[in-house]
């Protein structure tokens, strides 16, 4: 009895300890979150510091539990909202407190080419208004140099260098591996250029995919060269990019020396020397260290310069990231969440028009259609809809764009990819090597399908391919109706081919060139609003953490996806059958006594064990209705 009491006390102590640790973590994270809030009153004279430690995106993802605990003092890479970066730079114009703009690009991880062009344009406006811009980097590559090229003066660490890689490169092909493993990739697609499935069916790039990639990357590279040459006319960029090995060898491997000789940078110096230089321009901040310059915190500056709210609101809906079903995000373009934002906007009489900002490579056709149908409700209410394409608005992203009255793109926007596909794996060859086979009784041709052990039946393959072909037919009909073309014309420019924005305009897939400002102005014009009598009202989701701190242990919540069409049905059944087989095997190994168990009785119960859930999702959930590559 004493042993039982001691054991019970021990268990209670463990429970109390876990609760205490959970509470300490929660309150520590809460303190970190509250202490990291921007302070608009902290603005003083100095240089606006854009220490871009991360990437520039259209819509940052919802903060994770780790982000919550880390707070703003963490060195974890960050996602910077494009419109905030542009607005912060534009807000320096006319603000006498801002003596300069500092670009610290040492940890910059990049962004889409169109997004970086938008930031570059803002830097050009600030420089034209008299704000000096100083850039520092320990190493520059394509993305960081695209921004640095706009600087009044570019600094490079003497131990660093510059490399221009250009768009493109190799991708992995898994056909040889999956053949060796005995895995069968059951592929269903429409589109000669729909190359996203090629890694599972080929060992190299198809001629059609190569043709499309060469055309797209050629346009993007020429556009990048044009932008940096315009801002750095004396720099020797093209020869260095074409033959970097010769330049590096001539300089004895000293890439910093190459950068100076080819006028790619203005000065060599480490971070301390750069800080001293800036301090001499804008003033010295004695608090952190004698070499620090007076700086203005980016988040504080954003808080101190809110967006204009004068005039009638033009609602802005953001579709950023992969398009999926459900309510997740931001960071993923969840159709349920975005559709709800659209319907909420329809209930607000003040909103006079909608701008849909798309920065998405596509995703689920069903989810794309859910967003499109919500936009059609806005059109039924005579609300003008203007689409603004960002870095990419392809496949499912273009599906959504067909709901617009007018489509703007940038010359470097990646769009098109009108095509669909699905991939479902089966393991009949791999399991046969280990003596695992399948047999049973079927009441219909689809009983037990999809059969991941015995392989998919011909009937199922015909049905799945027919479903994909039907989705493609729906896609081209939507585009044909929206763009005033015949389905045959859309099929010619479709077939899964990806286009740059300039070519897309020539093909009639977009209406004109322009960014968000142009899209908002067009929406206001269509709503009958005069210039200056409107403002953009961003209908963003509430910034909330993706976990529940009072559920015990704060893990990210998982949402069960609805069954969307025959592909979704096949994928979910496949996961369920595989999970059931795994659970049966685990159960037989775990049971140690005589069993009175009916294995067949569980055949109709689709359930997967917790042990198998996570890796089964990763292994078998590769089922897409629409995605560009």
DSSP 332: S
**CA angle in degrees (0–180, nearest 5) for 180-185-186:** 150
- The mean per-residue pLDDT over the stretch 133-148 comes to 95
CA dist 314 and 328 (Å) reads 25
CA dist 391 and 411 (Å) reads 10
Q: What is the pLDDT of residues 368-383, one digit of tens each?
A: 999 999 999 999 999 9
Least confident of 306-315, 353-362, 443-452, 470-479: 443-452
Number of H helices, E strands in the chain: 22, 21
Q: What integer pLDDT is reported at residue 330 of this predicted model? A: 86
Residue 571, preceding peptide bond in cis (omega within 30° of 0)? no
Report the SS3 class of residue 473. helix
Cβ atoms of 411 and 501 closer than 8 Å: yes
Q: What integer pLDDT is reported at residue 514 of this predicted model? A: 95
**Please, which residues have CB within 8 angstroms of residue 544's CB and are 6 or more apart in sequence?**
62
Q: What integer pLDDT is reported at residue 71 of this predicted model? A: 52
Whether the predicted pLDDT of 499 surpasses 80 = yes
Task: Produce one character per residue of 494-516: b if its CB has 16 or more CB atoms within 10 Å, e if not.
Answer: bbbbbbbbbbbbebebbbeebbb
Whether the predicted pLDDT of 396 surpasses 60 = yes
**Please, which residues have CB within 8 angstroms of residue 118's CB and are 6 or more apart in sequence?**
82, 86, 515
CA dist 239 and 589 (Å) reads 66
CA dist 457 and 190 (Å) reads 20
CA dist 604 and 586 (Å) reads 19
Closest residue by Cα to residue 423 from 195, 213, 151, 266: 195
Cβ atoms of 450 and 460 closer than 8 Å: yes
Whether the predicted pLDDT of 600 surpasses 50 = no
Structure tokens at 222: 């020429």
Burial of 410: CB neighbours in 10 Å, binned 0-12, 13-18, 19+:
buried
Structure tokens at 288: 């952190």
Whether 194 sits among the annotated catalytic residues: the reply is yes
Catalytically annotated residue among 195, 213, 335, 395: 395
Q: What is the chain's mean pLDDT, rounded?
A: 83
Catalytically annotated residue among 99, 131, 194, 294: 194
Q: What integer pLDDT is reported at residue 70 of this predicted model? A: 54
Q: What integer pLDDT is reported at residue 442 of this predicted model? A: 86
- Identify the H or E element spanning 500: strand 498-500
**Please, which residues have CB within 8 angstroms of residue 204's CB and are 6 or more apart in sequence?**
173
Q: What percent of the chain has pLDDT over 90?
A: 55
Main-chain dihedrals φ then ψ at residue 367, nearest 5 degrees: -65, -40
CA dist 311 and 583 (Å) reads 61
Nearest-10 crossing angle of helices 365-380, 565-590? 140
Whether 127 sits among the annotated catalytic residues: the reply is no
Q: What integer pLDDT is reported at residue 298 of this predicted model? A: 94
- The mean per-residue pLDDT over the stretch 552-568 comes to 45
CA dist 183 and 200 (Å) reads 10
- Tell me how far apart the 2 most distant CA atoms of the chain are, in Å: 88
Q: What integer pLDDT is reported at residue 275 of this predicted model? A: 94
In DSSP terms, 103 is beta-bridged to: 50, 135
CA dist 264 and 625 (Å) reads 45
Closest residue by Cα to residue 485 from 509, 513, 503, 512: 509
Whether the predicted pLDDT of 157 surpasses 80 = yes
Q: What is the pLDDT of residues 210-255, one digit of tens each?
A: 999 999 999 999 999 999 999 999 999 999 999 999 999 999 999 9
- pTM for the full predicted model: 0.82
């Amino acid at each position: 009895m004493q042993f039982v009491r001691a054991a019970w006390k021990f268990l209670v102590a463990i429970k109390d300890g876990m609760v205490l640790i959970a509470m300490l973590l929660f309150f520590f994270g809460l303190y970190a979150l509250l202490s990291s809030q921007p302070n608009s009153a902290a603005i003083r004279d100095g240089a606006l510091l854009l220490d871009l430690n991360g990437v520039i995106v259209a819509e940052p993802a919802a903060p994770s539990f780790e982000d919550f605990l880390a707070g703003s003092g963490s060195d974890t890479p960050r996602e910077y909202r494009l419109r905030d970066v542009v607005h912060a730079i534009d807000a320096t114009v006319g603000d006498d407190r801002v003596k300069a703009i500092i670009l610290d690009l040492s940890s910059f991880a990049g962004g889409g080419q169109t997004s970086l062009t938008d930031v570059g344009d803002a830097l050009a406006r600030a420089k034209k208004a008299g704000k000096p811009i100083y850039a520092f980097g320990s190493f520059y590559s394509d993305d960081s140099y695209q921004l640095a090229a706009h600087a009044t003066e570019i600094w490079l660490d003497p131990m660093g260098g510059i490399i221009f890689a250009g768009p493109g490169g190799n991708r992995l092909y898994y056909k040889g591996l999956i053949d060796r493993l005995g895995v069968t990739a059951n592929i269903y697609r429409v589109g000669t250029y729909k190359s996203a499935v090629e890694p599972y069916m080929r060992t190299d790039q198809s001629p059609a995919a190569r043709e499309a990639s060469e055309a797209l990357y050629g346009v993007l590279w020429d556009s990048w060269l044009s932008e940096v040459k315009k801002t750095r006319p004396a720099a020797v960029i093209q020869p260095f990019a074409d033959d970097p090995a010769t330049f590096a060898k001539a300089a004895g491997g000293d890439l910093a020396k190459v950068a100076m000789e080819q006028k790619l940078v203005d000065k060599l110096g480490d971070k301390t020397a750069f800080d001293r230089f800036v301090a001499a321009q804008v003033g010295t901040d004695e608090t952190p260290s004698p070499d620090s310059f007076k700086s203005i915190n980016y988040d504080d500056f954003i808080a101190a310069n809110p967006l204009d709210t004068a005039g009638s609101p033009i609602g802005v809906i953001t579709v950023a990231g992969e398009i999926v079903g459900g309510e997740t995000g931001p960071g993923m373009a969840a159709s349920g969440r975005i559709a709800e934002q659209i319907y909420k906007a329809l209930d607000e009489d003040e909103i006079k028009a909608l701008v849909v900002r798309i920065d998405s490579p596509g995703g689920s056709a069903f989810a794309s259609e859910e967003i499109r149908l919500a936009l059609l409700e806005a059109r039924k209410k005579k609300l003008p809809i203007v689409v603004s394409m960002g870095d990419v608005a392809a496949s499912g992203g273009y599906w959504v764009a067909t709901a617009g009255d007018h489509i703007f793109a940038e010359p470097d926007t990646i769009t098109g990819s009108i095509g669909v596909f699905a991939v479902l794996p089966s393991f009949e060859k791999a399991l046969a090597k280990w003596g695992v086979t399948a047999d049973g009784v079927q009441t219909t041709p689809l009983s037990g399908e999809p059969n991941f052990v015995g392989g998919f039946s011909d009937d199922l393959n015909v049905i799945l391919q027919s479903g994909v072909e039907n989705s493609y037919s729906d896609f081209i009909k939507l585009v044909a109706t929206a763009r005033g073309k015949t389905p045959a014309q859309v099929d010619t420019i479709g077939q899964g081919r990806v286009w740059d924005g300039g070519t897309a305009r020539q093909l009639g897939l977009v209406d004109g060139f322009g960014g968000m400002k142009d899209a908002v102005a067009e929406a206001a014009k269509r709503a009958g609003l005069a210039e200056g009598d409107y403002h953009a009202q961003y209908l963003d989701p509430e910034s909330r953490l993706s976990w529940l701190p009072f559920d015990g242990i704060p893990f990210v919540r998982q949402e069960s996806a609805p069954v969307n069409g025959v592909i979704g049905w096949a994928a979910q059944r496949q996961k369920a059958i595989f999970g059931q087989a795994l659970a049966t095997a685990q159960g037989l190994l775990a049971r140690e006594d005589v069993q009175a168990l009916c294995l067949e009785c569980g055949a109709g119960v689709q359930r997967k064990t917790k042990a198998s859930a996570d890796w089964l999702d990763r292994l078998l959930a590769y089922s897409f209705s629409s995605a560009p590559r």
